[in-house]
């Protein structure tokens, strides 16, 4: 395979996404192979830590391979997407609970599935080219791969802003929002990786950081908190319309462009997670409930068509802005019974 390189490099297990021509988009097969490598290295005494990186200058990973999901679903194979998401979310949980240090190097586009792959590691190193975002509402989906967990834990109401507008975070913003841990200039990455491979000492990361670039979102935190205080999307939009804040016009434009249903469901997801702020598993299970149904009951097929397939940027959403029936939101979030997401025990043993 040419889309992924898995190898031992000194004291490291090394995972390299090698699809730079596709911005290292994550496929189902890649998820399964990464999971198998992590399972092998979990008990390998030669592997002290695991390093994950993306090849090429443009992206760590710009997301999942949603074109494949679209074409399969259009052909009647919704189970393909359900299986992909089930296995991807299981990988996200394993990465977050991995018993050895898992070091991610985040550069260029880090979006959607890329956040799931690099955002649950520890430590998460971000470089100056990083553009981190959760753009799912723009394609009729919801923030997933544990992204809703990170958004719910972001300071104040910043998670609402990031989820509803797909605003991109530079390195300073990503650290402020809790999507990254330390800033290391990319010119020093190869030396740091070589040191990690040579020593297996994750403590080297603590010796490498520099002060991150400023975070415009941190500077705007109080204003964001005020603008996104509304109970629903319509109230948030009204606040943005009234505001003279310089961030309001772009935010309002994004809200009016995105799927009304996806935004309503996303707000409900983030609100529910306030009661479980440290429970990634709860977030993943909630995300899977939506993902399991979204191709039949949501806007995702239309959103992907408009953004990725036909590229006309003119999606015809099922619901009017600010007028999403609450029963549609509740139906997407309802428990799945026997189809609920099964996750491995934290020690890597049998599923819960």
**For the segment 173-187, what is each residue's pLDDT rounded down to a tens digit?**
999 999 999 999 999
Report whether pLDDT(1) > 60: no
3-state SS, one letter per residue, for 14-56: EEEECCHHHCCCECHHHHHHHHHHHHHHHCCCCCCEEEEEECC
pLDDT given for residue 292 in this prediction:
98
Categorize the per-residue pLDDT at 350 as very low, low, confident or very high, splitting at 50, 70 and 90.
Answer: low
Query: How do residues 124-144 score in pLDDT, each as one tens digit?
Result: 999 999 999 999 999 999 999
pLDDT given for residue 352 in this prediction:
59
Mean pLDDT of the chain: 96
Among candidate residues 112, 113, 127, 146, the one labeled active-site is 113
Query: How do residues 235-253 score in pLDDT, each as one tens digit?
Result: 999 999 999 999 999 999 9
Among candidate residues 3, 88, 136, 173, the one labeled active-site is 136
Report whether 17 contacts 54 (CB < 8 A): yes
Whole-number percent of the chain with pLDDT over 70: 98
CA distance 337 to 289: 10
The topology under which CATH files domain 4-339 is 2-enoyl-CoA Hydratase; Chain A, domain 1 (3.90.226)
Per the model's pLDDT, the better-predicted residue between 278 and 98 turns out to be: 98
Among candidate residues 53, 88, 144, 299, the one labeled active-site is 144
Q: How many CB atoms lie within 10 A of CB 219?
A: 13
Which residue in this structure is represented by tokens 């730079």? 20
Average pLDDT, integer, range 347-352: 62
pLDDT given for residue 38 in this prediction:
98
Report whether 284 contacts 142 (CB < 8 A): no
Among candidate residues 13, 54, 64, 108, the one labeled active-site is 64
Q: Indicate if 136 belongs to the active site.
A: yes
Q: Indicate if 113 belongs to the active site.
A: yes
Report whether 172 contacts 212 (CB < 8 A): yes
Query: How do residues 275-333 score in pLDDT, each as one tens digit?
Result: 888 899 999 999 999 999 999 999 999 999 999 999 999 999 999 999 999 999 999 99
CA distance 342 to 331: 20
Report whether pLDDT(213) > 90: yes
Token pair for 284? 């993943």
Torsion 55-60-62-64 (CA) sign? positive
Which residue in this structure is represented by tokens 């964001």? 224
């Amino acid at each position: 395979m040419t889309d992924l390189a898995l190898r031992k490099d000194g004291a490291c297990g090394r995972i390299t996404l090698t699809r730079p021509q596709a911005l290292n988009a994550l496929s189902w097969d890649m998820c399964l192979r990464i999971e198998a490598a992590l399972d092998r290295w979990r008990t390998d005494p030669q592997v002290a830590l695991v390093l994950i990186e993306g090849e090429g200058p443009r992206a760590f990973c710009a997301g999942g391979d949603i074109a494949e999901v679209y074409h399969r679903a259009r052909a009647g194979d919704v189970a393909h997407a359900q299986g992909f998401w089930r296995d991807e979310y299981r990988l996200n949980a394993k990465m977050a609970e991995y018993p050895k240090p898992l070091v991610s190097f985040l550069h260029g586009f880090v979006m959607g599935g890329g956040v799931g792959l690099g955002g649950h590691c520890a430590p998460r190193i971000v470089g100056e080219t990083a553009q981190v975002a959760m753009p799912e509402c723009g394609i009729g989906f919801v923030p997933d791969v544990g992204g809703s967990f990170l958004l719910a834990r972001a300071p104040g109401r910043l998670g609402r802003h990031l989820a509803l507008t797909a605003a991109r975070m530079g390195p300073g913003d990503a650290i402020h929002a809790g999507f990254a841990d330390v800033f290391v200039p990319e010119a020093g990455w190869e030396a740091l990786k070589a040191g990690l491979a040579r020593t297996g000492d994750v403590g080297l990361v603590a010796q490498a950081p520099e002060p991150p670039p400023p975070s415009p979102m941190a500077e705007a935190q109080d204003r964001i908190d005020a603008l996104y205080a509304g109970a629903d999307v319509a109230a948030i939009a009204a606040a943005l319309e009234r505001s003279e804040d310089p961030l309001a016009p772009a935010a309002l434009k994004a809200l009016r462009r995105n799927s009304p249903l996806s935004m309503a469901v996303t707000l409900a997801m983030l609100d529910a997670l306030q009661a479980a702020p440290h429970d990634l598993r709860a977030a993943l299970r909630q995300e899977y409930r939506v993902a399991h149904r979204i191709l039949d009951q949501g806007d995702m097929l239309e959103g992907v068509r408009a953004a990725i397939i036909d590229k006309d940027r003119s999606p015809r959403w099922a619901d009017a802005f600010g007028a999403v029936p609450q029963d549609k939101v509740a139906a997407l979030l309802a428990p799945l019974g026997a189809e609920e997401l099964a996750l491995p025990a934290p020690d890597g043993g049998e599923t819960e």
